[in-house]
Amino acid sequence: MSAAHDNFQYDFAVIGGGSGGYAAARTASADGLKTVVIEGGEEVGGLCILRGCMPTKALLYAAEVLHLASHASPWGIRAEEVSFNFSRVMARKNALIKEFAEFRQAQLASGKFAFIRAMARFKDPHTLELSNGQTLTARSFLISTGSAISPSPLPQINDLHGLNSDTALKLSHLPKSLLVLGGGAVAVEFAQFFARFGVRVTLIQRSPNILHEFDSDVAEALETVLRREGITLYTGTKLLDARRSGDRKEIVFEQNGQTVRAHADEVLYALGRIPNIGSLGLDHVGVEVQYGRISTNPRMQTSVPHIYAAGDCTGLHEIVHIAIQQGEVAAQNIAHPDRPRSMDYRLLTEIIFTEPQVAVVGLTEKRAHVRNIPYQVAKYPFNDHGKSLIMEAKDGFVKLLAEPLTGEILGGGCVGPVGGELIHEIIAAMAKRMTVHELAAMPHYHPTLAEIWTYPAEELAEKIKK
């Protein structure tokens, strides 16, 4: 490890040891920078491992196993007394998370870089004040302090002392009924998890569809399934009030000009997250913040050239592999300013781990309309595909968007069985800038779910003659 230059204690100080921060520290220390990570959370591991991706996916998979076991009759299988032990469901999730967190803790304490347990804030552009009383200087910095649950739009909601995505993961007993506020990834994943474990779930969403950033046909395909599984969905709503009503909780909202009152034993607040940057002292150093998030250029550099930022604190995506890429890009640019790297969001992917899974990469029809990008589109449903019929997985479809003249694949969408896995074929195709003609000609094993992509690819190849 090289010595820090310019009398600074470190070449590079990383504030926050989550996914983005760890990726940056690993990259920088491998490139010879004298690096320190400062992590101030109660637990070490970051959001993805402790309270995000991993615990929620562990629970959703348990819900999938339960659902399959109790819906096995189409295959002639009788499983009449399917039951579950919620404590054991949670215990398995906890054991997995403990293992993942311990691995991350070992990585952070590996000695490849210094690791300090404290909260950090800027004292001046090259100095951090730590909550343990120390100060620390560095030539360059990365802010990777993640996100926090957004404040409530109605103060009355706080008075309900309901659940959020952190506390829902610690439940020891299931509520009988639940009102989910929000219609994004966290809301719909928890809604299906709870519903599949027998909770009567009502979801209340402001936009006309759940998953409002996705194409409406994609969102509607998932809405159909959630409704069929017994979830009550209210979309196009405006929250008016929240109060206790006896020992139940009540949310009052407007829908189609009518006032609606929904009651349940519990409320899950899932109205989004905001960058966690309030206590960093960014005003002391002049780091520019826009719409509550740290602004960066594509090299992940903030308005102060030696201070970089990565992950949820930069706000836009809240996707873990993006946080990792951003951390790596920042570290690479600090270590090798002569060989700068930039983030490229052409392959931006989003996955919702409900069943059916929802996955999109690149251009969507909604984004194409906003940006006025011409495209050709073709879709194919899972209810007309051999392997999905074998699996009784008939909901949803795949969709491909192509450049109208060249046939280059611009985007893909999938609502369907293991959609989060299937989308990776399109990510790979787009990474190599393949055309629909090339995708259609690529061999696909039969019978697989993946071969469904050949149908929209063939349709588009037929339309876009070369």
Nearest by Cα to 350 from 359, 341, 342? 359
* Nearer to ligand FAD (CB atom), residue 221 or residue 351: 351
CB of 315 to ligand FAD, least distance (A): 10
With 0-12 / 13-18 / 19 or more C-beta atoms within 10 angstroms meaning exposed / middle / buried, residue 374 is exposed
Compute CA 349 distance to the chain's CA centroid, rounded to the nearest angstrom: 10
Cis peptide before 356 (omega within 30 of 0): yes
CB of 64 to ligand FAD, least distance (A): 14
CA distance 436 to 448: 19
* Nearer to ligand FAD (CB atom), residue 194 or residue 455: 194
CB of 345 to ligand FAD, least distance (A): 14
CB atoms within 10 A of CB 83: 8
On the CB side of 230, CA atoms within 13 Å amount to: 13
Residues β-bridged to residue 203: 180, 233
Asked if 188 and 207 touch (Cβ cutoff 8 Å), the reply is no
* Nearer to ligand FAD (CB atom), residue 407 or residue 420: 420
Asked if 333 and 308 touch (Cβ cutoff 8 Å), the reply is yes
* Nearer to ligand FAD (CB atom), residue 143 or residue 264: 143
For residue 464 the two structure tokens come to 């876009």
CA distance 375 to 404: 5
- Give the 3-state secondary structure percentages of the chain, helix then strand then coil, rounded to 5: 35, 25, 40
Annotated active-site residue 446? The verdict is yes
CB of 457 to ligand FAD, least distance (A): 27
CB of 412 to ligand FAD, least distance (A): 18
Three-state secondary-structure class, residue 108:
helix
Residues β-bridged to residue 130: 120
CA distance 156 to 151: 12
CA distance 25 to 115: 10
* Nearer to ligand FAD (CB atom), residue 105 or residue 156: 105
CB of 329 to ligand FAD, least distance (A): 13
* Nearer to ligand FAD (CB atom), residue 312 or residue 403: 312
Three-state secondary-structure class, residue 270:
coil
Three-state secondary-structure class, residue 46:
coil
* Nearer to ligand FAD (CB atom), residue 320 or residue 377: 320
CB of 298 to ligand FAD, least distance (A): 17
CA distance 244 to 466: 64
* Nearer to ligand FAD (CB atom), residue 131 or residue 255: 131
> Which one is catalytic: 71, 317, 437, 446?
446
CB of 145 to ligand FAD, least distance (A): 4
CA distance 33 to 331: 9
Q: Which helix (H) or strand (E) holds 431?
A: helix 419-431
Residues that bind ligand FAD (CB under 6 A): 15-21, 38-41, 46-48, 52-53, 56-57, 119-120, 144-146, 165, 186, 276, 279-280, 311-312, 318-320, 323, 353
Residue type, 17: G
- Residues catalogued as catalytic: 446
